[in-house]
Amino acid sequence: MTENPDPERRRALLIIDVQNDFTEGGALGVAGGAAVAAGISDLLARHPERYDEVFASRDWHDGDNDNGGHFATAAEPDFIVTWPRHCVAGTTGAGYHPDLDTSSVGWHVRKGQGRPAYSIFEGTIDDGESLNEKLDELGITDVDVAGIATDYCVLASARDALESGRRVRVLSDLVAGVAEESSAAALATLALAGAEITRSG
């Protein structure tokens, strides 16, 4: 992957939910999550000029309710619509994985406060703006997507990025999914929708 040769285009990296609860040992940990955290940090360290802006999202769920049915309460979670408690605001599980160096992150996005939310575009930045508003304000035309989980929040985020009219690349070596089959299907779906599936290089 080369640097952006077109100075008229501006690129952002969207880091999706690289949190303790979504990595090994967490409430909904996926295999390879820690490697994704370290890989994103390495990418940003080796290529600081690649991105004009870096955004990172976190699930930031309420701890005193079921977040609009997102947390399973009356029955066992089905791991499709309902889930075990995870990423409760202010807890260690909601924190970024320690191998993710956030020093390059200019914008932090929180999502899922009291309701289900999968896409980074459903969240709000610390200043209260939506992601789409901030991307427009900053003139971002292209986004790269990395993070967790390929078959859920990465899929939803990349799909929304495409729907926002931006060029989208998914960094296939910097994502980790819940299941191999559904993760492969997610990448295939995004490719058909117009995303480029590539490696960080």
Catalytic residues: 17, 111, 153
Backbone angles phi, psi at 103, to 5 degrees: -65, -25
Query: Residue 143 has which token pair?
Result: 């986004």
Q: Provide the terminal-to-terminal Cα distance of the chain, rounded to the nearest Å.
A: 5
Structure-block tokens of residue 57: 């999202």
Sheet with 11-16, strands from edge to edge, namely 124-125, 107-111, 53-59, 11-16, 142-148, 167-176, 196-198
The 3-state DSSP composition of the chain as helix, strand, coil percent (nearest 5) reads: 30, 25, 45
Contact predicate 109/120, CB 8 Å = yes
